[in-house]
Amino acid sequence: MAERTGPEKALAAIVVRSWSDEAFRIDLLADGSAALESNGFTVPEGKQVRVVADTEDVVHLVLPLRPAGLTDEELEAVEEGWAPVPPCDFAP
């Protein structure tokens, strides 16, 4: 498995912290933008981050915003799994 770097690594750390710090998890679920900003992330003006948690009985599927300007071939590449899905626009 490839090593995580940059935003991926920082987001992975947020997830792991939410598993071990119940107060942080509560804050993250209540106001994701504020919780991330208080941990060094920059959330762009006018954007908000909503955090949801899977349970034993419910799993969330998040549909990302379709990137503008993708050709049919690029969409097929995403479907085939070899082309990356564009990253989120907030970062640590």
SS3 91: strand
Distance of alpha carbon 16 from alpha carbon 78, whole angstroms: 28
Distance of alpha carbon 84 from alpha carbon 81, whole angstroms: 7
pLDDT 10s digits, 25-41: 999 999 999 999 998 88
- Residue 38 DSSP one-character state: T
91 inside domain? no
0.85 surpassed by pTM:
no
Distance of alpha carbon 44 from alpha carbon 92, whole angstroms: 11
**Strand-pair partners of 91:** 42
89 inside domain? no
* φ/ψ (deg, to 5) at 32: -60, -40
How many domains does one find in the chain? 1
64 inside domain? yes
pLDDT 10s digits, 53-72: 999 999 888 888 877 888 88
**Domain carrying residue 17:** 6-80
70 inside domain? yes
